[in-house]
C-alpha cells in the first residue's frame, strides 16, 4: 500500500464500501470494506503526517460516512458518496500525500 496515495485508499473505501453494500445487499460486507480501507488509510496518515493529523483525518473519514446518509436524502446516494469521498480525498492529499 505504500505506493498508493492515502487519498486514493480513503476515497476507494467510501465508494467501495457503499458499492459493495448496495450490490450485494449485505450492509455488513460494505462496512467491512469501509473499515479495512479506513484502517489502511489511517496507518498511512500516521506514517506520513503524524498521530494528530491521522486522528483528524480518521474523524473526517467517519464523519464523511455518517454525513453521506442525510446528504443522500437531498441529492441522491451516489452523488452523496462521491461528494464525501472527494472531500476526504482532498483533505487526505493536502495533509498527508502532498508532502510525499
- What is the model's pTM? 0.93
pLDDT digits (tens, 9 = 90+) for 14-62: 999 999 999 999 999 999 999 999 999 999 999 999 999 999 999 999 9
Query: What is the secondary structure of the chain as a DSSP string?
Result: -TTS-HHHHHHHHHHHHHHHHHHHS-HHHHHHHHHHHHHHHHHHHHHHH-HHHHHHHHHHHHHHHHHHHHHHHHH-HHHHHHHHHHHHHHHHIIIIITT-
Amino acid at each position: 500500500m505504500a505506493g498508493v496515495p492515502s487519498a486514493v485508499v480513503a476515497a476507494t473505501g467510501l465508494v467501495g464500501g457503499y458499492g459493495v453494500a448496495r450490490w450485494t445487499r449485505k450492509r455488513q460486507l460494505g462496512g467491512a470494506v469501509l473499515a479495512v480501507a479506513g484502517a489502511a488509510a489511517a496507518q498511512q496518515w500516521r506514517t506520513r503526517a503524524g498521530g494528530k493529523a491521522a486522528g483528524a483525518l480518521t474523524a473526517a473519514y467517519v464523519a464523511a460516512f455518517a454525513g453521506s446518509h442525510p446528504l443522500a436524502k437531498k441529492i441522491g446516494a451516489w452523488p452523496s458518496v462521491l461528494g464525501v469521498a472527494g472531500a476526504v480525498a482532498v483533505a487526505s492529499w493536502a495533509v498527508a500525500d502532498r508532502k510525499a
